Amino acid sequence: MAKQVFMTNDQTLVDKIREGDGEALRYLYKKYYPVVLRLITQNSGDEQDAEDIYQESLMVLYEKAKDPHFKLSSSLKTYIYSISRNKWLYKLRQEGTGSVSFEEVEDYIEVADESQSYDNETIDYDELVGEALKRMDETCRKLLEYFYYHKLSLDIVAQKLGYNNANTAKAKKNKCMNRARSIAKELMEKFEV
């Protein structure tokens, strides 16, 4: 019988790490390592570099999690990716190694809904979010990525997407989020979550 996948919300994972739960760290190691592996190998590194950077990044998370006042301000995926990216850029600068382009890898990081609240389940919610985004039109995908992932203001989003003003961008963002929630709900019902 297959072992049930450990799934919970990000802050609960941080709390479990704070409590010394080794299973939470093992879960994170498997869950987000592919993102860091892709980041490193597509930017002048190899698998050993990725393992080293990822372990260092998880140690940073572990140290932060020991502070009882530490609260995530982004998803764990984004947090770990950012630490790894910064560590890798620092290492490349130290070594004076070639040019680095993170655009393609950053496209790999899916935009996550800001309202994470899942219980222990066997479903990979990142895949559900990714599938929901694939079903949306290109404009909605870009708008949500600009606003939630890149944290751009609605004024800048409006300029990038050719809207008249921030109010238009806000209205479109709300429609896109409603569409994303609707698609995600359909997918979750399909999997009987």
Residue 165 maps to which CATH number?
1.10.10.10
Identify the domain boundary among 54, 79, 109: 109
pLDDT band at 168 (very low <50, low <70, confident <90, very high): very high
Please say which residue of 89, 109, 129 terminates a domain. Answer: 109
The Cα–Cα gap between 24 and 8 comes to: 10
User: Is the same domain home to 35 and 97?
Assistant: yes
pLDDT, position 161 = 93
Q: What is the CATH number of the domain that holds 45?
A: 1.10.1740.10
Q: What's the domain range around 17?
A: 1-109
149 and 101 assigned to the same domain: no
The residue ranking higher by pLDDT, 71 or 7, is: 71
Tell whether 114 is covered by a domain. Answer: no
| Least confident span in 24-28, 70-74, 80-84 | 70-74
